[in-house]
Chain A
Amino acid sequence: MSSEHSEGFPKKHIVGFIASIVLTIVAAWAALSSGLPTPWIITAIMVLAVIQACIQLFMFMHMTETDSGGIQVGNMLQAFFVAAVVVAGSIWTMSFGYSHNHDGGGNDAEMENHEDMDH
């Protein structure tokens, strides 16, 4: 009736679930408490997100099952390639050289003053 790996205890799901929870907590810690430089934090948490996405795709969604598994993997690789190009390309063309002038509360007040003067 069922294929062998789906009998009994859902080990793969439980391992995947625990890994997801751990990765989420590590990402939150890296972002807010690690004290690393911002570019490192962004790189690290994006890598953790990709690992988590792979857990979903391979451990929960059975992406490689049946003989169309190869097509499914190829299709998702293509989709994520398109996504990376769209996001990175948009940031590069639209935001390259743009600086954020309101990182902290102090700068905010400055911005508001500027606007007051303008009006």
Chain B
Amino acid sequence: MSADTDLTTGPLEYRSHEGRMNILGFWIFIGAEVALFSTLFATYAVMFGRTGDSPVPAELFELPMVLIMTFLLLTSSFTCGIAIHEMRRGSLKGLLTWLAITLVLGLGFLGFEIYEFVHYIHEGASLQSSAFWSGFFLLTGTHGLHVLLGISWATLLIVQLRQRGLTPVTSRKMFIVGLYWHFLDVIWIFIFTSVYLIGMVV
């Protein structure tokens, strides 16, 4: 690290070399996750149109539902950003409030996604029904599992934040959960665009 790196000012999560390295390391992990999701997107794209006897996506995809899910996740990404903003102002209460709102929105998203999956399965589109739907459920399901993991992780962190308050360590952990949550929204933007919108157009 360069000599002019100042560890005494700035946000708490950047006050130690360890904290900074953890955050850089998490960025590299996110890069790997982007590569992982790209293989699922590629599989989905290759399977596109190969629906066999099962319903075609344009029959099942509904814009209002997809928009609700998108707005829930977009808003949760925004409130997560506000949570980090509150953390940097030194407000534990603000952080916990906005983080709780984020998780409620995340749970709302998951609820809609589960409803959507159940609905599709009732309509004859499940993991087993065709190559296309396998690709669809694999891609959206992997994203959904990441959301579930993010909710669980942040919930555990809320417990720790309540016990320990804002320290360089808890701030760093919170910042990293925040990165993860925003990353889930980045992936969803591409699912919304390349799965749902293109699925309704083509």
Which A residues form the contact surface with B (CB < 8 A)?
1-3, 6-7, 10, 13-14, 16-17, 20-21, 24, 27-28, 31-32, 38, 41-42, 45-46, 48-49, 52-53, 56-57, 59-61, 63, 65-68, 71-72, 75-76, 78-80, 82-84, 86-87, 89-91, 94-95, 98, 100-103, 108, 112, 115
Query: Which A residue's beta carbon lies closest to that of B193?
Result: A49
CB of A13 within 8 A of CB of B42, answer no
Q: Which residues of A contact B88 (CB under 8 A)?
A: 2-3, 6
A79-B31 contact in complex given A31-B200, A45-B197, A87-B38, C-beta closer than 8 Å: yes
> Across chains A and B, which 10 residue pairs bring their CB atoms closest together, nearest first?
A83-B38, A79-B31, A90-B42, A100-B49, A79-B34, A6-B88, A17-B78, A31-B197, A49-B193, A94-B46
CB of B193 within 8 A of CB of A76, answer no
The size class of the interface chain B forms with chain A is 35 or more
A48-B41 contact in complex given A56-B185, A102-B49, C-beta closer than 8 Å: no
CB of A3 within 8 A of CB of B78, answer no
Q: With A and B bound together, what is the CA distance between A87 and B139 in angstroms?
A: 13
CB of A82 within 8 A of CB of B81, answer no
Interface centre among B24, B31, B32, B80 (most CB of A within 10 A): B31
Interface centre among A38, A48, A61, A102 (most CB of B within 10 A): A61
Which B residues form the contact surface with A (CB < 8 A)?
1-2, 5, 9-11, 14, 20, 23-24, 27-28, 30-32, 34-35, 37-39, 41-43, 45-46, 48-49, 51, 53, 56, 63, 67, 70-71, 74-75, 77-78, 80-82, 85, 88-90, 178-179, 182-183, 185-186, 189-190, 192-194, 197-198, 200-202
Q: With A and B bound together, what is the CA distance between A79 and B29 in angstroms?
A: 10
Q: How far is the CB of B202 from chain A (nearest CB, A)?
A: 6
Q: How far is the CB of A101 from chain B (nearest CB, A)?
A: 8
